[in-house]
Amino acid sequence: MLYLSKTDFKEFLICQKCLWLKKKRPEDYVEGEFSAFLKKLIKDGYEVEECFQQTFSGGFSNIGSRKELIEKTKELIIQQKTIFQATFETEEGLFAKIDVLEFDKKSKKWNLYEVKSGSSIKTDLFHNHIKDIAFQKIVLEKSGIEVGKNFIVHLSKDYIKNGDLDLKQLFVLNEVSDKIADIKEETEIEIQKALDSFKIDDVDLKGCGCIYRSHGQRCDCFNLFNPQVPEYSTAHIFKGKKLETLVNDNIFDVKDVPEDFEATKIQRIKIDLQKTGIPQINQETVRETLSELVYPIYFLDYETFGKPIPFLDGYKTNQQLVFQYSLHILGKDGKLQHFEYLADNLENATRDLVKSMKSQIGPVGSVVVWYESFEKGRNKELMKLHPEFKDFLEDVNSRVFDLMKVFKKDYLHPDFKGSASIKKVLPVLVPELSYKELEVQNGTMAIEAWGKTMFDDVSEDEKAKIRKDLLKYCELDTLAMVEILRKLKS
Ligand code: SF4
């Protein structure tokens, strides 16, 4: 029997075809490029749940196989115990795991807690927390549980850790029983529709509704349904009415957009890049921009790590800890030096990082980064954490030069596919440098790897290997900027 869980239901509300594919043809279902990031979010979610569970005394953690969880839940319900991960399956094919189910001795009903790792209640199409808890409540009621109060629990955005975690300050409880009542009927109808969709033997694999949506709004299964749409398509450039017109005319390849099709200046440039295959480089402006650079040039890149539950004093929920930097210094004589720092303990991670940077970044010279708001933003946070370095960090921020800005409008290449990301620019300008051979290839992998060395039980050998991989990755980020700048100058 196919069961419908809360996650499945959410997916159904976004796209019926996606859920059908996942359930009926899992071999064709595309996991997606963000799966590593999503896995981290799920892991974070469990940590928040576990932390919230500590606010209940005498709660029972339900662990085991799915069958064991269901059987144990039945026993604990009879014993009227507070249950973490109470698990239910219904005859209709519904499945739910409840974060916390608390027996209220006064009302003799069960209070339902749905824990979220964010810092607000969301009600948009992709994250509708009220729908989530309404689904859980419906499953409980169909399982014969009398539900009392319903709470959505999220983290406080204002809480700053200072000593032991203050769980009362950290969590915000919202009673949403009335909000659930408002949407209960419609949710029941939607659940039935989702269950009915499991009875369909086949869906039309030719096309899907997101063909009219811009690129970023499509799911990873899009290409399966729309193989005629190239990887870089008109949906990367247009949206709304204009995209609709092109789709209705079966125009997906940017090269096929008619000359007289209404487009803004930047849209027209992007079309011309693909049609001609010739880069558009405004040499004079690039030269002028680069003339702002002052030697020695410091190429700086940070890696950061955050968790929903603050793990250090002075930190808020999800605040990023800067655990690594790579710094290349290019002298006027062309001499290149490399420095780096990778934290190996939590307590002194950022203090030692800034101290190390201060010993290497002198009072004169531009600080080159890629996407300045990231490094500048972290520096502002570091100033608050370590006011003794405020002057130094303010000075660094005042000397920041964002190399990415050159690739926003003055150096455009058809192979950048409309992006100014270093991951797109590097293979075109400096193909001999590549992230492909590295064990750590992107920021998400770096977060995961460093978190492992700090919070998981890993052997010294494994830790040493991870640290080596992290250093190589971050070094490439700054070396890439050095070589891109050299290419531009030449
Ligand atoms: S891209 Fe297609 S399959 Fe994916 S969510 Fe949109 S309509 Fe569904």
Q: Atom 8 (ligand 1): residue with closest C-alpha?
A: 15
Q: Specify the range with the lowest mean pLDDT, choosing from 202-216, 391-405, 465-479.
A: 202-216
The single-letter code of the amino acid at 410 is D
Number of domains in the chain: 3
Residue 439 has pLDDT above 90, yes or no: no
In a domain, 307, yes or no: yes
How far away, in angstroms, is 15 Cα from ligand 1 center? 6
SS3 (DSSP) at 103: strand
How far away, in angstroms, is 213 Cα from ligand 1 center? 9
How far away, in angstroms, is 206 Cα from ligand 1 center? 12
User: Where in the sequence is the domain holding 166, given as residue range(s)?
Assistant: 6-197
Query: Of all helices (H) and strands (E), which one includes residue 113?
Result: strand 109-115
Q: Atom 6 (ligand 1): residue with closest C-alpha?
A: 210
Which ligand 1 atom is nearest residue 218's CA?
1
CA dist 272 and 279 (Å) reads 9
Q: What is the pLDDT of residue 447?
A: 86
In a domain, 282, yes or no: no
In a domain, 269, yes or no: yes
CA dist 417 and 415 (Å) reads 5
How far away, in angstroms, is 362 Cα from ligand 1 center? 52
How far away, in angstroms, is 124 Cα from ligand 1 center? 17
How confident is residue 295, by pLDDT bands cut at 50, 70 and 90?
A: very high
Q: What is the pLDDT of residue 62?
A: 78
How far away, in angstroms, is 469 Cα from ligand 1 center? 36
CA dist 290 and 282 (Å) reads 12
For helices 6-14 and 129-142, give the axis angle rounded to 10 degrees: 130
CA dist 74 and 88 (Å) reads 9
Residue 35 has pLDDT above 60, yes or no: no
Pocket lining for ligand 1, CB < 6 angstroms:
14-15, 17-18, 208-210, 218-219, 221-222, 225
CA dist 208 and 378 (Å) reads 41
Q: Which carries the bigger pLDDT value, residue 391 or residue 318?
A: 391
DSSP state of 2: -
In a domain, 318, yes or no: yes
Which ligand 1 atom is nearest residue 15's CA?
8
389 and 484 housed in the same domain:
yes
128 and 228 housed in the same domain:
no
In a domain, 34, yes or no: yes
CATH of the domain at 97: 3.90.320
CA dist 338 and 475 (Å) reads 8
Which ligand 1 atom is nearest residue 226's CA?
2
Alpha-carbon distances, residue 122 vs 131, 150, 190 (angstroms): 10, 16, 19
CA dist 307 and 405 (Å) reads 30
Which ligand 1 atom is nearest residue 222's CA?
1
270 and 161 housed in the same domain:
no
Mutate to test the pocket of ligand 1, among 16, 17, 125 (most ligand atoms within 8 A of CB): 17
Residue 463 has pLDDT above 80, yes or no: yes
Mutate to test the pocket of ligand 1, among 10, 15, 22 (most ligand atoms within 8 A of CB): 15
Mutate to test the pocket of ligand 1, among 13, 18, 247 (most ligand atoms within 8 A of CB): 18
Q: Atom 4 (ligand 1): residue with closest C-alpha?
A: 219
Residue 33 has pLDDT above 70, yes or no: no
Which ligand 1 atom is nearest residue 219's CA?
4
Q: Residues 6 or more apart from 436 whose CB is under 8 A from it? A: none
454 and 393 housed in the same domain:
yes
Residue 34 has pLDDT above 90, yes or no: no
Chain mean pLDDT for the chain: 93
In a domain, 281, yes or no: no
CATH of the domain at 349: 3.30.420
Sign of the torsion formed by the C-alpha atoms of 358, 359, 364 and 366: negative
For the record, the structure tokens of 413 come out as 């290449």
What pairs with residue 446 in β-bridges?
A: none
102 and 62 housed in the same domain:
yes
Q: What is the pLDDT of residue 136?
A: 98
Closest to 49 measured CA to CA, from 110, 83, 100, 11: 100
Per-residue pLDDT averaged across 257-278, rounded?
96
CA dist 230 and 10 (Å) reads 28
CA dist 490 and 487 (Å) reads 5
How confident is residue 347, by pLDDT bands cut at 50, 70 and 90?
A: confident
Indicate the pTM of the whole model: 0.86
317 and 352 housed in the same domain:
yes
38 and 85 housed in the same domain:
yes
CA dist 320 and 451 (Å) reads 12
Query: Of all helices (H) and strands (E), which one includes residue 100?
Result: strand 95-104
CA dist 423 and 431 (Å) reads 11
188 and 256 housed in the same domain:
no
What pairs with residue 113 in β-bridges?
A: 100, 151
User: Are 86 and 97 contacting, i.e. CB atoms less than 8 angstroms apart?
Assistant: yes
**CB-count burial class (<10 Å; 0-12, 13-18, 19+) for 422:** buried
Q: Specify the range with the lowest mean pLDDT, choosing from 199-203, 249-253, 404-408.
A: 199-203
266 and 339 housed in the same domain:
no
Residue 303 has pLDDT above 60, yes or no: yes
CA dist 59 and 424 (Å) reads 50
62 and 13 housed in the same domain:
yes
In a domain, 151, yes or no: yes
CA dist 357 and 299 (Å) reads 12
Q: What is the pLDDT of residue 436?
A: 80
CA dist 227 and 235 (Å) reads 14
CA dist 345 and 312 (Å) reads 12
Q: Beta 321-330 vs 297-305: how paired, if at all? A: antiparallel
> Using one digit for the tens of pLDDT, what is the confidence trace for 36-64?
666 777 778 899 999 999 999 888 887 88
Residue 217 has pLDDT above 90, yes or no: no
Query: Which residue among 220, 250, 274 closes a domain?
Result: 274
Upstream peptide bond of 431 is cis (omega within 30 degrees of 0)? no
Which ligand 1 atom is nearest residue 220's CA?
4
User: Are 238 and 270 contacting, i.e. CB atoms less than 8 angstroms apart?
Assistant: no
How far away, in angstroms, is 233 Cα from ligand 1 center? 16
- Kindly state the percentage of the chain with pLDDT values over 90: 82
Which ligand 1 atom is nearest residue 18's CA?
3
> Using one digit for the tens of pLDDT, what is the confidence trace for 92-124?
999 999 999 999 999 999 999 999 999 999 998
46 and 136 housed in the same domain:
yes
CA dist 27 and 22 (Å) reads 8
> Using one digit for the tens of pLDDT, what is the confidence trace for 146-172?
999 999 999 999 999 999 999 999 999
How far away, in angstroms, is 240 Cα from ligand 1 center? 17
How far away, in angstroms, is 32 Cα from ligand 1 center? 12
Query: Which residue among 239, 274, 309 closes a domain?
Result: 274
How far away, in angstroms, is 217 Cα from ligand 1 center? 9
183 and 222 housed in the same domain:
no
Which ligand 1 atom is nearest residue 14's CA?
5
Query: Which residue among 246, 274, 302 closes a domain?
Result: 274
Mutate to test the pocket of ligand 1, among 22, 29, 208 (most ligand atoms within 8 A of CB): 208
In a domain, 202, yes or no: no
**CB-count burial class (<10 Å; 0-12, 13-18, 19+) for 107:** exposed
Per-residue pLDDT averaged across 407-415, rounded?
95
Mutate to test the pocket of ligand 1, among 33, 225, 252 (most ligand atoms within 8 A of CB): 225
How far away, in angstroms, is 222 Cα from ligand 1 center? 5
